[in-house]
A and B are shown apart, each in its own frame.
Chain A
Amino acid sequence: MTTATREGTLFAMPSLGADMSEGRITEWLVQPGDHVERGQIVVIVETDKSDIEVEVFEPATVVELLVDEGELVPVGTPIARFAGAETATSAPAAVPPQRAGPGATVHGEATPVPAAPTPTTTQVTSPMIRHLADELHVDPKRIRGTGPGGRVHRDDVEAAAGTTSRQRITPRARRLMDERGIDPSRFAALGYVTGDDVLELPVESPGGRTVESSDERPTKAETMRRHIAELMSRSWAEIPHFHLARRLDLDLMTDRLTEANEQRAIADRLVPGALLLCAAARAAAKVPACNGWWRDGGFQPAGEVRLGVVLSLRSGGILVPTIDHADQLTPVEMMQRLAELVQRARQGRLRASDMGEATITVTNLGDLGADSVAGVIHPPQVALVGFGAVRDAVVAADGLPTVRPTVQASLAGDHRAIDGLTGSRYLAQLQTLLDGPLLEEL
Protein backbone atom coordinates (compact mmCIF):
# COMPACT_ATOMS: atom_id res chain seq x y z
CA MET A 1 0.00 0.00 0.00
CA THR A 2 1.50 3.27 -1.01
CA THR A 3 0.15 6.27 0.72
CA ALA A 4 1.35 9.74 -0.03
CA THR A 5 1.84 10.69 3.53
CA ARG A 6 4.86 11.80 5.40
CA GLU A 7 3.78 10.01 8.50
CA GLY A 8 5.36 6.83 9.75
CA THR A 9 7.44 5.69 12.62
CA LEU A 10 9.72 8.08 14.36
CA PHE A 11 13.15 6.67 14.98
CA ALA A 12 14.48 8.17 18.17
CA MET A 13 17.95 8.74 19.56
CA PRO A 14 18.29 5.55 21.61
CA SER A 15 19.57 5.34 25.15
CA LEU A 16 22.82 3.44 24.85
CA GLY A 17 23.66 2.84 28.46
CA ALA A 18 21.97 3.97 31.66
CA ASP A 19 23.99 7.15 32.04
CA MET A 20 23.57 8.44 28.50
CA SER A 21 21.56 11.63 28.18
CA GLU A 22 22.48 12.78 24.69
CA GLY A 23 24.18 11.56 21.56
CA ARG A 24 25.75 13.09 18.49
CA ILE A 25 24.96 11.81 15.00
CA THR A 26 28.34 10.95 13.56
CA GLU A 27 27.29 9.45 10.28
CA TRP A 28 24.11 8.41 8.50
CA LEU A 29 24.53 5.15 6.61
CA VAL A 30 21.16 5.43 4.87
CA GLN A 31 19.36 8.05 2.81
CA PRO A 32 15.69 8.78 2.30
CA GLY A 33 14.20 6.16 0.01
CA ASP A 34 16.50 3.37 1.21
CA HIS A 35 14.94 0.15 2.34
CA VAL A 36 16.50 -1.23 5.49
CA GLU A 37 16.49 -4.81 6.71
CA ARG A 38 16.19 -6.09 10.22
CA GLY A 39 19.56 -5.78 11.97
CA GLN A 40 20.93 -3.27 9.44
CA ILE A 41 23.07 -0.51 10.88
CA VAL A 42 21.59 2.81 9.90
CA VAL A 43 23.42 5.42 11.91
CA ILE A 44 26.59 5.89 13.92
CA VAL A 45 26.00 7.72 17.18
CA GLU A 46 28.80 9.19 19.21
CA THR A 47 28.34 8.93 22.95
CA ASP A 48 30.71 9.94 25.69
CA LYS A 49 32.20 6.49 25.66
CA SER A 50 32.30 5.22 22.14
CA ASP A 51 30.92 5.45 18.64
CA ILE A 52 27.95 3.13 18.55
CA GLU A 53 26.37 1.49 15.54
CA VAL A 54 22.62 1.65 15.85
CA GLU A 55 20.66 -1.05 14.09
CA VAL A 56 16.97 -1.33 13.22
CA PHE A 57 14.90 -4.25 14.39
CA GLU A 58 12.20 -4.25 11.74
CA PRO A 59 12.37 -3.88 7.99
CA ALA A 60 11.37 -0.35 6.98
CA THR A 61 11.79 2.38 4.43
CA VAL A 62 13.62 5.54 5.32
CA VAL A 63 11.37 8.54 4.70
CA GLU A 64 13.29 11.41 6.13
CA LEU A 65 16.40 12.15 8.16
CA LEU A 66 15.49 14.68 10.83
CA VAL A 67 18.87 15.41 12.36
CA ASP A 68 22.02 16.34 10.47
CA GLU A 69 25.39 14.74 10.94
CA GLY A 70 27.34 16.47 13.66
CA GLU A 71 24.31 17.50 15.68
CA LEU A 72 23.98 16.66 19.36
CA VAL A 73 20.47 15.76 20.55
CA PRO A 74 18.95 14.45 23.80
CA VAL A 75 17.96 10.80 24.12
CA GLY A 76 14.42 10.31 22.81
CA THR A 77 14.63 13.02 20.15
CA PRO A 78 13.25 11.77 16.82
CA ILE A 79 16.18 11.56 14.41
CA ALA A 80 14.52 9.96 11.40
CA ARG A 81 11.13 9.03 10.04
CA PHE A 82 10.62 5.48 8.82
CA ALA A 83 7.72 3.80 7.14
CA GLY A 84 6.56 0.23 7.28
CA ALA A 85 8.05 -0.53 10.66
CA GLU A 86 6.10 -1.40 13.75
CA THR A 87 8.86 -0.33 16.06
CA ALA A 88 11.86 1.33 14.59
CA THR A 89 14.23 0.48 17.35
CA SER A 90 14.19 -1.87 20.29
CA ALA A 91 16.07 0.66 22.33
CA PRO A 92 14.17 1.74 25.42
CA ALA A 93 13.78 5.34 24.35
CA ALA A 94 12.04 4.57 21.06
CA VAL A 95 9.28 7.04 20.42
CA PRO A 96 5.93 5.45 19.61
CA PRO A 97 4.57 6.25 16.18
CA GLN A 98 2.64 9.49 16.05
CA ARG A 99 -0.72 8.82 14.44
CA ALA A 100 0.78 6.25 12.13
CA GLY A 101 -2.05 5.75 9.69
CA PRO A 102 -3.06 2.19 8.84
CA GLY A 103 -0.78 0.87 6.15
CA ALA A 104 1.15 4.07 6.06
CA THR A 105 3.81 2.61 3.89
CA VAL A 106 5.68 5.31 2.13
CA HIS A 107 7.98 4.46 -0.70
CA GLY A 108 10.88 6.35 -2.09
CA GLU A 109 8.95 8.71 -4.33
CA ALA A 110 7.18 10.50 -1.50
CA THR A 111 10.27 11.86 0.09
CA PRO A 112 10.78 15.57 0.38
CA VAL A 113 14.42 15.47 1.34
CA PRO A 114 15.67 17.91 3.95
CA ALA A 115 19.17 18.59 2.69
CA ALA A 116 20.34 15.32 4.15
CA PRO A 117 24.05 14.80 3.95
CA THR A 118 25.09 11.95 1.72
CA PRO A 119 27.02 9.29 3.53
CA THR A 120 30.45 8.95 2.05
CA THR A 121 32.74 6.03 2.19
CA THR A 122 36.16 7.14 3.24
CA GLN A 123 39.14 4.95 3.85
CA VAL A 124 39.51 6.36 7.31
CA THR A 125 38.46 3.40 9.37
CA SER A 126 40.20 3.90 12.66
CA PRO A 127 38.87 6.40 15.20
CA MET A 128 42.46 7.06 16.21
CA ILE A 129 43.34 8.11 12.69
CA ARG A 130 40.19 10.20 12.44
CA HIS A 131 41.08 11.88 15.70
CA LEU A 132 44.58 12.64 14.46
CA ALA A 133 43.19 14.06 11.23
CA ASP A 134 40.90 16.20 13.33
CA GLU A 135 43.75 17.43 15.47
CA LEU A 136 45.88 18.33 12.48
CA HIS A 137 42.89 19.93 10.72
CA VAL A 138 43.04 17.59 7.77
CA ASP A 139 39.90 16.66 5.89
CA PRO A 140 39.84 12.84 6.11
CA LYS A 141 38.35 12.63 2.64
CA ARG A 142 41.43 14.24 1.16
CA ILE A 143 43.94 11.84 2.59
CA ARG A 144 45.43 9.27 0.27
CA GLY A 145 45.82 5.94 2.01
CA THR A 146 49.01 4.03 1.31
CA GLY A 147 48.19 1.03 3.50
CA PRO A 148 46.89 -2.32 2.31
CA GLY A 149 43.61 -1.81 0.48
CA GLY A 150 44.14 1.93 0.40
CA ARG A 151 43.79 2.22 4.14
CA VAL A 152 44.90 5.42 5.77
CA HIS A 153 47.84 5.31 8.15
CA ARG A 154 49.16 7.80 10.65
CA ASP A 155 51.92 8.58 8.14
CA ASP A 156 49.37 9.47 5.49
CA VAL A 157 47.58 11.90 7.77
CA GLU A 158 50.82 13.55 8.75
CA ALA A 159 51.88 13.72 5.13
CA ALA A 160 48.58 15.37 4.22
CA ALA A 161 49.03 17.84 7.06
CA GLY A 162 52.57 18.55 5.96
CA THR A 163 54.03 17.41 9.25
CA THR A 164 55.57 14.30 7.89
CA SER A 165 57.81 12.48 10.26
CA ARG A 166 59.37 9.26 9.19
CA GLN A 167 59.61 7.98 12.71
CA ARG A 168 58.07 4.62 13.28
CA ILE A 169 56.82 4.33 16.82
CA THR A 170 55.27 1.06 18.01
CA PRO A 171 52.01 1.14 19.97
CA ARG A 172 53.80 0.02 23.13
CA ALA A 173 56.45 2.73 22.69
CA ARG A 174 53.78 5.38 22.12
CA ARG A 175 51.91 4.35 25.23
CA LEU A 176 55.08 4.37 27.35
CA MET A 177 56.00 7.84 26.04
CA ASP A 178 52.57 9.14 26.96
CA GLU A 179 52.76 7.62 30.41
CA ARG A 180 56.21 8.99 31.06
CA GLY A 181 55.82 12.37 29.45
CA ILE A 182 58.61 11.72 26.99
CA ASP A 183 58.65 13.71 23.77
CA PRO A 184 58.88 11.66 20.55
CA SER A 185 61.52 14.05 19.21
CA ARG A 186 63.97 12.52 21.67
CA PHE A 187 64.17 9.58 19.32
CA ALA A 188 64.70 11.53 16.13
CA ALA A 189 67.85 9.57 15.38
CA LEU A 190 66.08 6.22 15.42
CA GLY A 191 64.22 4.69 12.49
CA TYR A 192 62.06 2.47 14.65
CA VAL A 193 61.20 3.27 18.24
CA THR A 194 60.29 0.28 20.43
CA GLY A 195 59.08 0.08 24.01
CA ASP A 196 62.57 -0.88 25.16
CA ASP A 197 64.02 2.34 23.66
CA VAL A 198 61.57 4.36 25.74
CA LEU A 199 62.28 2.38 28.89
CA GLU A 200 65.97 3.28 28.60
CA LEU A 201 65.23 6.98 29.11
CA PRO A 202 64.54 8.53 32.51
CA VAL A 203 60.97 9.65 33.16
CA GLU A 204 60.62 13.36 32.40
CA SER A 205 57.40 14.38 34.07
CA PRO A 206 56.09 11.58 36.28
CA GLY A 207 52.43 10.88 35.66
CA GLY A 208 52.65 13.63 33.10
CA ARG A 209 50.11 12.75 30.51
CA THR A 210 49.60 16.27 29.26
CA VAL A 211 46.85 15.96 26.76
CA GLU A 212 46.32 19.31 25.17
CA SER A 213 43.42 19.94 22.96
CA SER A 214 42.81 23.05 20.97
CA ASP A 215 39.11 22.20 20.66
CA GLU A 216 36.58 23.34 23.20
CA ARG A 217 35.15 19.83 23.10
CA PRO A 218 37.14 17.41 25.23
CA THR A 219 38.71 14.52 23.34
CA LYS A 220 37.08 11.13 23.49
CA ALA A 221 39.86 9.84 25.73
CA GLU A 222 39.29 12.71 28.16
CA THR A 223 35.55 12.18 28.27
CA MET A 224 36.00 8.47 28.79
CA ARG A 225 38.47 9.13 31.60
CA ARG A 226 36.01 11.49 33.25
CA HIS A 227 33.28 8.86 33.07
CA ILE A 228 35.45 6.16 34.56
CA ALA A 229 36.52 8.58 37.29
CA GLU A 230 32.94 9.49 38.11
CA LEU A 231 31.68 5.89 38.17
CA MET A 232 34.58 4.52 40.18
CA SER A 233 34.50 7.37 42.70
CA ARG A 234 30.80 6.83 43.23
CA SER A 235 31.34 3.10 43.65
CA TRP A 236 34.16 3.54 46.13
CA ALA A 237 32.27 6.18 48.09
CA GLU A 238 28.96 4.32 48.25
CA ILE A 239 29.71 0.61 48.20
CA PRO A 240 31.24 -1.15 51.19
CA HIS A 241 33.51 -3.48 49.22
CA PHE A 242 34.94 -6.76 50.37
CA HIS A 243 37.38 -8.82 48.34
CA LEU A 244 37.79 -12.57 48.11
CA ALA A 245 40.32 -14.54 46.11
CA ARG A 246 40.80 -18.14 45.14
CA ARG A 247 43.48 -19.76 43.06
CA LEU A 248 41.89 -21.93 40.40
CA ASP A 249 43.69 -25.01 39.20
CA LEU A 250 43.46 -25.02 35.39
CA ASP A 251 45.23 -28.33 34.82
CA LEU A 252 42.23 -30.18 33.44
CA MET A 253 41.03 -27.17 31.49
CA THR A 254 44.41 -26.54 29.86
CA ASP A 255 44.86 -30.19 28.86
CA ARG A 256 41.41 -30.40 27.40
CA LEU A 257 41.79 -27.05 25.63
CA THR A 258 45.13 -27.99 24.06
CA GLU A 259 43.68 -31.27 22.91
CA ALA A 260 40.58 -29.64 21.49
CA ASN A 261 42.53 -26.85 19.76
CA GLU A 262 44.72 -29.39 17.97
CA GLN A 263 41.62 -30.68 16.24
CA ARG A 264 40.28 -27.27 15.38
CA ALA A 265 40.85 -24.90 12.50
CA ILE A 266 42.52 -21.70 13.68
CA ALA A 267 39.30 -19.75 13.39
CA ASP A 268 37.62 -22.12 15.85
CA ARG A 269 40.39 -22.27 18.42
CA LEU A 270 39.58 -21.11 21.90
CA VAL A 271 41.60 -18.99 24.31
CA PRO A 272 41.41 -19.70 28.06
CA GLY A 273 39.68 -16.34 28.56
CA ALA A 274 36.56 -17.56 26.74
CA LEU A 275 36.20 -20.48 29.16
CA LEU A 276 36.77 -18.23 32.15
CA LEU A 277 33.97 -15.94 30.95
CA CYS A 278 31.66 -18.93 30.46
CA ALA A 279 32.43 -20.08 33.98
CA ALA A 280 31.87 -16.59 35.40
CA ALA A 281 28.47 -16.31 33.70
CA ARG A 282 27.28 -19.77 34.71
CA ALA A 283 28.45 -19.32 38.28
CA ALA A 284 26.38 -16.12 38.39
CA ALA A 285 23.32 -18.13 37.35
CA LYS A 286 24.06 -20.69 40.08
CA VAL A 287 24.64 -18.06 42.76
CA PRO A 288 21.93 -15.52 41.85
CA ALA A 289 22.66 -13.42 44.95
CA CYS A 290 25.72 -12.11 43.07
CA ASN A 291 23.78 -11.35 39.91
CA GLY A 292 21.72 -8.18 40.06
CA TRP A 293 21.58 -4.64 41.37
CA TRP A 294 21.45 -2.73 44.62
CA ARG A 295 18.58 -0.30 44.20
CA ASP A 296 16.48 1.75 46.59
CA GLY A 297 18.09 0.20 49.63
CA GLY A 298 17.58 -3.39 48.57
CA PHE A 299 18.92 -6.14 46.33
CA GLN A 300 17.13 -6.68 43.07
CA PRO A 301 17.99 -10.03 41.45
CA ALA A 302 18.40 -9.83 37.69
CA GLY A 303 16.76 -13.08 36.66
CA GLU A 304 19.06 -13.47 33.67
CA VAL A 305 22.79 -13.10 33.21
CA ARG A 306 23.98 -10.15 31.14
CA LEU A 307 27.71 -10.26 31.52
CA GLY A 308 29.65 -7.00 31.44
CA VAL A 309 33.11 -7.55 29.96
CA VAL A 310 35.82 -5.01 30.66
CA LEU A 311 37.89 -4.35 27.55
CA SER A 312 41.02 -2.22 27.80
CA LEU A 313 41.76 0.06 24.92
CA ARG A 314 45.28 0.58 23.70
CA SER A 315 44.67 4.29 23.55
CA GLY A 316 43.79 4.21 27.26
CA GLY A 317 40.54 3.73 29.10
CA ILE A 318 38.07 0.88 29.11
CA LEU A 319 34.81 -0.07 27.48
CA VAL A 320 32.36 -2.43 29.16
CA PRO A 321 30.05 -3.95 26.54
CA THR A 322 27.67 -6.68 27.66
CA ILE A 323 26.81 -10.19 26.50
CA ASP A 324 23.15 -11.22 26.79
CA HIS A 325 22.31 -14.64 28.24
CA ALA A 326 26.00 -15.29 28.68
CA ASP A 327 25.29 -18.29 30.91
CA GLN A 328 23.63 -20.09 28.02
CA LEU A 329 26.50 -19.77 25.55
CA THR A 330 28.77 -22.70 24.78
CA PRO A 331 32.52 -21.97 25.00
CA VAL A 332 32.65 -21.78 21.21
CA GLU A 333 29.80 -19.28 21.07
CA MET A 334 31.38 -17.26 23.87
CA MET A 335 34.66 -17.16 21.96
CA GLN A 336 32.86 -15.83 18.87
CA ARG A 337 30.96 -13.19 20.81
CA LEU A 338 34.12 -12.13 22.57
CA ALA A 339 36.11 -11.90 19.34
CA GLU A 340 33.39 -9.75 17.76
CA LEU A 341 33.17 -7.50 20.80
CA VAL A 342 36.92 -7.00 20.99
CA GLN A 343 37.10 -6.16 17.32
CA ARG A 344 34.22 -3.68 17.51
CA ALA A 345 35.66 -2.08 20.63
CA ARG A 346 39.05 -1.74 18.95
CA GLN A 347 37.44 0.03 16.03
CA GLY A 348 35.67 2.27 18.51
CA ARG A 349 32.32 1.10 17.14
CA LEU A 350 30.13 -0.88 19.48
CA ARG A 351 26.55 -1.79 18.63
CA ALA A 352 23.45 -0.66 20.44
CA SER A 353 22.84 -4.31 21.33
CA ASP A 354 26.19 -4.43 23.11
CA MET A 355 25.08 -1.71 25.49
CA GLY A 356 22.47 -3.43 27.66
CA GLU A 357 22.75 -3.05 31.42
CA ALA A 358 25.14 -5.58 32.94
CA THR A 359 24.00 -7.80 35.81
CA ILE A 360 27.56 -8.71 36.82
CA THR A 361 30.90 -7.64 35.35
CA VAL A 362 34.12 -9.52 34.67
CA THR A 363 37.55 -8.05 34.27
CA ASN A 364 40.01 -10.46 32.76
CA LEU A 365 43.54 -9.08 32.78
CA GLY A 366 44.59 -11.57 30.13
CA ASP A 367 47.97 -13.01 29.40
CA LEU A 368 49.66 -9.59 29.38
CA GLY A 369 48.25 -8.71 32.80
CA ALA A 370 49.14 -8.95 36.47
CA ASP A 371 48.62 -12.04 38.63
CA SER A 372 45.49 -10.89 40.38
CA VAL A 373 43.02 -8.03 40.66
CA ALA A 374 40.95 -6.73 43.57
CA GLY A 375 38.30 -4.89 41.61
CA VAL A 376 35.95 -1.98 42.01
CA ILE A 377 32.27 -2.80 41.49
CA HIS A 378 30.34 -1.05 38.71
CA PRO A 379 27.26 0.30 40.49
CA PRO A 380 24.45 -0.57 40.80
CA GLN A 381 25.80 -4.11 40.38
CA VAL A 382 26.78 -5.98 43.53
CA ALA A 383 29.77 -8.00 42.34
CA LEU A 384 32.77 -7.77 40.09
CA VAL A 385 34.72 -10.86 39.11
CA GLY A 386 38.43 -10.61 38.30
CA PHE A 387 40.86 -12.98 36.61
CA GLY A 388 44.61 -12.46 36.55
CA ALA A 389 46.97 -13.91 33.97
CA VAL A 390 47.05 -17.69 33.59
CA ARG A 391 50.43 -18.76 34.97
CA ASP A 392 52.22 -21.90 36.00
CA ALA A 393 52.51 -22.18 39.77
CA VAL A 394 53.59 -24.73 42.32
CA VAL A 395 50.49 -26.25 43.86
CA ALA A 396 49.95 -29.12 46.24
CA ALA A 397 48.36 -32.13 44.56
CA ASP A 398 47.82 -35.35 46.48
CA GLY A 399 50.19 -34.08 49.16
CA LEU A 400 53.03 -33.32 46.75
CA PRO A 401 54.21 -30.06 45.20
CA THR A 402 53.61 -29.97 41.48
CA VAL A 403 53.61 -27.32 38.75
CA ARG A 404 50.27 -26.54 37.17
CA PRO A 405 48.62 -23.78 35.17
CA THR A 406 46.60 -21.61 37.54
CA VAL A 407 44.67 -18.36 37.60
CA GLN A 408 43.85 -16.11 40.54
CA ALA A 409 40.11 -15.50 40.54
CA SER A 410 38.73 -12.73 42.69
CA LEU A 411 35.37 -11.38 43.63
CA ALA A 412 34.64 -7.86 44.81
CA GLY A 413 31.34 -7.90 46.64
CA ASP A 414 28.93 -5.24 47.85
CA HIS A 415 28.65 -6.09 51.54
CA ARG A 416 25.22 -4.48 51.71
CA ALA A 417 23.91 -7.16 49.36
CA ILE A 418 26.11 -10.22 49.84
CA ASP A 419 28.42 -11.76 52.43
CA GLY A 420 31.70 -13.61 52.33
CA LEU A 421 30.04 -16.98 52.32
CA THR A 422 28.01 -16.17 49.19
CA GLY A 423 31.12 -14.83 47.50
CA SER A 424 33.08 -17.95 48.45
CA ARG A 425 30.35 -20.13 47.00
CA TYR A 426 30.59 -18.17 43.77
CA LEU A 427 34.36 -18.71 43.51
CA ALA A 428 34.05 -22.40 44.39
CA GLN A 429 31.48 -22.73 41.63
CA LEU A 430 34.06 -21.46 39.11
CA GLN A 431 36.41 -24.32 39.95
CA THR A 432 33.61 -26.87 39.72
CA LEU A 433 32.58 -25.60 36.28
CA LEU A 434 36.15 -25.50 34.97
CA ASP A 435 36.82 -29.05 36.13
CA GLY A 436 33.91 -30.71 34.41
CA PRO A 437 30.71 -29.37 32.91
CA LEU A 438 32.37 -26.78 30.67
CA LEU A 439 35.08 -29.12 29.42
CA GLU A 440 32.53 -31.61 28.20
CA GLU A 441 31.30 -29.00 25.73
CA LEU A 442 34.68 -28.53 24.08
Chain B
Amino acid sequence: MNARETILEAIERIAPDVDPSMLPPDVDFREEAELDSMDFLGVLTAVQEATGMEVPETDYGQIVTIDHFTEYLTMRLQPVES
Protein backbone atom coordinates (compact mmCIF):
# COMPACT_ATOMS: atom_id res chain seq x y z
CA MET B 1 0.00 0.00 0.00
CA ASN B 2 1.35 3.42 -0.86
CA ALA B 3 1.70 6.33 1.54
CA ARG B 4 -1.44 8.12 0.38
CA GLU B 5 -3.64 5.05 0.78
CA THR B 6 -2.17 4.48 4.22
CA ILE B 7 -3.12 8.00 5.27
CA LEU B 8 -6.63 7.81 3.80
CA GLU B 9 -7.26 4.49 5.47
CA ALA B 10 -6.02 5.89 8.79
CA ILE B 11 -8.44 8.81 8.52
CA GLU B 12 -11.30 6.49 7.76
CA ARG B 13 -10.45 4.18 10.61
CA ILE B 14 -10.36 6.98 13.17
CA ALA B 15 -13.35 8.84 11.84
CA PRO B 16 -15.65 6.24 10.28
CA ASP B 17 -18.17 8.95 9.51
CA VAL B 18 -15.72 10.66 7.17
CA ASP B 19 -15.32 9.44 3.64
CA PRO B 20 -11.68 10.30 2.91
CA SER B 21 -12.22 10.26 -0.84
CA MET B 22 -14.21 13.45 -0.31
CA LEU B 23 -11.13 15.31 0.94
CA PRO B 24 -9.17 17.42 -1.54
CA PRO B 25 -5.46 16.59 -1.33
CA ASP B 26 -4.26 20.18 -1.07
CA VAL B 27 -6.22 21.67 1.81
CA ASP B 28 -5.92 21.42 5.59
CA PHE B 29 -7.50 18.00 6.03
CA ARG B 30 -7.97 18.37 9.79
CA GLU B 31 -10.11 21.41 9.18
CA GLU B 32 -12.11 19.93 6.29
CA ALA B 33 -12.71 16.60 8.00
CA GLU B 34 -13.31 18.39 11.32
CA LEU B 35 -10.79 16.24 13.19
CA ASP B 36 -9.89 17.40 16.68
CA SER B 37 -6.54 16.84 18.37
CA MET B 38 -7.64 13.44 19.62
CA ASP B 39 -8.67 12.31 16.14
CA PHE B 40 -5.46 13.65 14.66
CA LEU B 41 -3.40 11.70 17.16
CA GLY B 42 -5.46 8.64 16.27
CA VAL B 43 -4.64 9.11 12.59
CA LEU B 44 -0.91 9.33 13.39
CA THR B 45 -1.18 6.20 15.52
CA ALA B 46 -2.87 4.30 12.71
CA VAL B 47 -0.20 5.45 10.24
CA GLN B 48 2.48 4.41 12.69
CA GLU B 49 0.93 0.97 13.09
CA ALA B 50 0.89 0.52 9.32
CA THR B 51 4.36 1.87 8.56
CA GLY B 52 6.34 2.01 11.79
CA MET B 53 6.81 5.72 11.19
CA GLU B 54 6.71 8.00 14.23
CA VAL B 55 5.81 11.61 13.54
CA PRO B 56 7.18 13.84 16.31
CA GLU B 57 4.97 16.69 17.53
CA THR B 58 7.46 19.20 16.15
CA ASP B 59 6.75 17.96 12.60
CA TYR B 60 2.97 18.49 12.74
CA GLY B 61 3.37 21.66 10.66
CA GLN B 62 4.72 19.61 7.75
CA ILE B 63 1.72 17.31 7.41
CA VAL B 64 -1.19 19.72 7.15
CA THR B 65 -2.49 18.60 3.74
CA ILE B 66 -2.80 15.06 2.47
CA ASP B 67 -0.31 15.88 -0.31
CA HIS B 68 2.26 17.15 2.21
CA PHE B 69 1.64 14.26 4.56
CA THR B 70 2.09 11.82 1.66
CA GLU B 71 5.33 13.49 0.64
CA TYR B 72 6.57 13.51 4.24
CA LEU B 73 5.81 9.85 4.65
CA THR B 74 7.25 8.81 1.30
CA MET B 75 10.52 10.67 1.93
CA ARG B 76 10.96 9.24 5.38
CA LEU B 77 10.02 5.70 4.36
CA GLN B 78 12.25 5.50 1.29
CA PRO B 79 15.57 4.55 2.91
CA VAL B 80 13.86 1.69 4.72
CA GLU B 81 12.13 0.24 1.68
CA SER B 82 15.02 1.08 -0.70
Q: Which residues of A contact B (CB under 8 A)?
A: 125-128, 147-149, 151, 153-155, 168-173, 175, 192, 194-196, 258, 261-262, 265-267, 269, 271-273, 313-315, 338-339, 342-343, 346-348, 366-368
- Quote the shortest CB–CB distance from B10 to chain A (angstroms): 10
Contact with A along B1-45 (1 / 0, CB 8 A): 000010011001011111101111001000111101111011011
Bound-complex Cα distance A338 to B42 (A) = 11
- Quote the shortest CB–CB distance from A300 to chain B (angstroms): 33
Q: Identify which of A151, A261, A347, A367 contacts B36 (C-beta below 8 A).
A: A367
Bound-complex Cα distance A155 to B19 (A) = 9
Q: Identify which of B15, B22, B33, B45 contacts A168 (C-beta below 8 A).
A: B22
Q: Is the CB of B15 within 8 A of A175?
A: no
Q: Identify which of A125, A127, A194, A258 contacts B27 (C-beta below 8 A).
A: A194
Q: In this complex, what residue of B is CB-closest to A192?
A: B24
By a CB distance below 8 angstroms, the chain A residues around B37 are 271-273, 366-367
By a CB distance below 8 angstroms, the chain A residues around B38 are 271, 273, 338-339, 342, 366
- Quote the shortest CB–CB distance from B34 to chain A (angstroms): 5
- Quote the shortest CB–CB distance from A248 to chain B (angstroms): 17
Bound-complex Cα distance A262 to B49 (A) = 18
Q: Is the CB of B21 within 8 A of A172?
A: no
Bound-complex Cα distance A347 to B13 (A) = 10
- B64 beta carbon closer than 8 Å to chain A: no
Contact with A along B38-82 (1 / 0, CB 8 A): 110110110011000011110000000000000000000000000
By a CB distance below 8 angstroms, the chain A residues around B56 are 262
Bound-complex Cα distance A314 to B15 (A) = 10
Q: Is the CB of A175 within 8 A of B34?
A: yes
Ranked nearest first, the 4 interchain pairs of A and B with the lowest CB-CB distance are A170-B32, A192-B24, A148-B9, A168-B22
Q: Is the CB of B34 within 8 A of A172?
A: yes
Bound-complex Cα distance A265 to B54 (A) = 7
Q: In this complex, what residue of A is CB-closest to B58?
A: A262
By a CB distance below 8 angstroms, the chain A residues around B27 are 170, 194, 196
Q: Is the CB of A155 within 8 A of B21?
A: yes
Q: Which residues of B contact A (CB under 8 A)?
A: 5, 8-9, 12, 14-19, 21-24, 27, 31-34, 36-39, 41-42, 44-45, 48-49, 54-57
- Quote the shortest CB–CB distance from A224 to chain B (angstroms): 14
- Quote the shortest CB–CB distance from A253 to chain B (angstroms): 14
By a CB distance below 8 angstroms, the chain B residues around A170 are 22-24, 27, 32-33
- Quote the shortest CB–CB distance from B69 to chain A (angstroms): 14
Q: Identify which of A147, A272, A346 contacts B15 (C-beta below 8 A).
A: A346
By a CB distance below 8 angstroms, the chain A residues around B14 are 343, 346
Bound-complex Cα distance A266 to B37 (A) = 13
- Quote the shortest CB–CB distance from A338 to chain B (angstroms): 7
By a CB distance below 8 angstroms, the chain B residues around A153 are 19, 21
Q: A267-B48, A346-B15 are in contact. List 7 more A-B contacts (CB 8 A).
A: A154-B19, A154-B22, A172-B34, A192-B24, A262-B57, A269-B57, A342-B39
By a CB distance below 8 angstroms, the chain B residues around A347 are 16-17
Q: Is the CB of A151 within 8 A of B12?
A: yes
- Quote the shortest CB–CB distance from A199 to chain B (angstroms): 12
By a CB distance below 8 angstroms, the chain A residues around B17 are 126-128, 171, 313-315, 346-348
By a CB distance below 8 angstroms, the chain A residues around B57 are 258, 261-262, 269
By a CB distance below 8 angstroms, the chain A residues around B49 are 267
Q: Is the CB of A148 within 8 A of B12?
A: yes
By a CB distance below 8 angstroms, the chain B residues around A195 are 31-32
By a CB distance below 8 angstroms, the chain A residues around B45 are 266-267
Q: In this complex, what residue of B is CB-closest to A261?
A: B57
- Quote the shortest CB–CB distance from B14 to chain A (angstroms): 7
- A sample of 10 inter-chain contacts (CB < 8 A) reads A126-B17, A147-B12, A148-B5, A151-B12, A171-B18, A196-B27, A262-B57, A343-B14, A346-B14, A346-B17
By a CB distance below 8 angstroms, the chain B residues around A346 are 14-17
- Quote the shortest CB–CB distance from A387 to chain B (angstroms): 13
Q: Identify which of A168, A273, A338, A368 contacts B24 (C-beta below 8 A).
A: A168
Bound-complex Cα distance A346 to B5 (A) = 21
